Amino acid sequence: MVKKIIKKSPKTKQIKKAAPPKPNKNIIKLKLDLGTKSENTWCPGCPNFMILEAVKRTLATYIDSKKYKKEDFAITADIGCHGKIFDYLNLSGIYGLHGRAIPTAIGMKLGNPNLKVITFVGDGAIYSEGISHLIHAFKENPDMSLFVHDNQVFSLTTGQSTPTSQTGYVTKSEPLGEFDKPLNPIKIALASNATFIARVNARDTPHMVEIMTKAINHRGFSFVEIMQDCIIFNMDQNFKDKRMYKIPDNKDIKIAEKLASEFNYNSKEEKIPMGVLYHNDQPCLEDRWPQLVDLQKRKVGWINK
């Protein structure tokens, strides 16, 4: 089933044109170096493999450009299927507690503002347990990236409903079906003064690489929603690819609000806009604290202050 979709999707071919320069040999080597010896325990065919590939490609290109070393990156991961990416990436970081990946990452930035920090979370993790941290991260605007693996279901705990699951979703914990309407995280981001909001498809690796690169380059808190199918649980929400369409990077708040409303996480018909839904430039947390400005100028953390 999954393979078929990839072949059918007309978008995949188009996107390849927009992809960054073709990986050279050095990038392939750097990508290998970003991997670990840990046994990969994602389900065969899980789109998480493609997210991992996109992250490796993005970071290998960064490291190849000599702008950053591998050691300059630090990650945090939440708990859930997505979090296993921590074990598969040879990068510094904290594999934290459920819901706490964002404040842990902000702490790293306070401890050394020169680090390039990326946080991986799931929809269950960040919209349930960690929602307060997400809203405050938008407000504080630390210079880091958040990659949300949103498959509209708690998978590692065997298929319960998350805040983005569709109304009516029947699970073992809610056999009467989910009564609520799903949250719209894009609207929450806009309401919380987010400075970078993007949405990508986990099956579209080149587009993921493009958007992840933009997210890391953005000076501020970059929120990237990765739409992902779970091939085991809540499969009703899968195969949205056909409804997805790409938009050019948007800076207009009015347009952003319109784009945010196009998909309500419930419907089976609405179009789903993909790409940078909104971005603007606001001073980030690290540039507002004089202590952190000083550490950045001297390119050190507190350890060498």
Partner 1 sequence: MRLNIVIGGAAGQGINKVSTIVSNILVKYGYFTFNYRDYQSLIRGGHSFNTLSISDSQIHSHYASIDIIVALNKRALETHKPALKKGGMIIIAKEFKKEGRNLNIALAGALLKILGIPLENLNEEIKLEFKDFDKALISAKKGYDSESEKFVLKKLDNKITILSGSNAMAIGAKNANLDIYIGYPMTPSTNALHAMAKDQIKNKMLVFQAENEISVISMALGASFAGAKSMVGTSGGGYDLMSESLSLQGITEIPLVVYLASRVGPGTGVPTYTAQSDLDIALRAGHGEFPRVVIAPGTPTENIEIVADALFLSEKFKMLSIILSDKHLAESEFSTTLTPKKATKITVKRSVPGTSIVKASSYESDKFGNSTESYILTEANVDKRMQKYNRAKEYINSNLEMVKIHGKKNSKNLIVGWGSTSGVIIDAIRDLDAKFLQVIYMKPLSSLIRKELEKADNVILIECNATGQLGRLIREKTGIKIENRLLKYNGRPFHEDELKIYLGEML
Residues 171-200, interacting with partner 1 (CB under 8 A): none
Taking the C-alpha atoms of residue 30 and residue 75, their distance in angstroms, rounded to an integer, is: 17
- Which one, 16 or 139, has the nearer CB to partner 1? 139
Considering only 115, 188, 216, 226, the residue that binds partner 1 (CB under 8 A) is 115
Considering only 64, 87, 262, 270, the residue that binds partner 1 (CB under 8 A) is 87
Is there a contact between 208 and 51 (Cβ–Cβ < 8 Å)? Answer: yes
Find the shortest distance in angstroms from Cβ 89 to partner 1: 9
Q: How many CA atoms lie within 13 A of 159 on its CB side?
A: 16
Other beta carbons within 10 Å of 68 = 15
Is there a contact between 216 and 138 (Cβ–Cβ < 8 Å)? Answer: no
23 binds partner 1 (CB under 8 A): no
167-to-182, 265, 285 alpha-carbon distances in Å:
7, 9, 37
156 binds partner 1 (CB under 8 A): no
- Which one, 201 or 222, has the nearer CB to partner 1? 222
114 binds partner 1 (CB under 8 A): yes
- Residue 149: which H helix or E strand, with range? strand 144-150
Q: How many residues does the chain have?
A: 305
Residues 266-305, interacting with partner 1 (CB under 8 A): 289-292, 301-305
177-to-55, 149, 214, 232, 266 alpha-carbon distances in Å:
35, 23, 39, 18, 14
Considering only 55, 91, 183, 284, the residue that binds partner 1 (CB under 8 A) is 91
- Which one, 157 or 264, has the nearer CB to partner 1? 157
For binding to partner 1 (CB under 8 A), which residues are involved? 36-38, 70-74, 76, 79, 84, 86-87, 90-97, 99-100, 103-112, 114-115, 132-133, 136, 289-292, 301-305
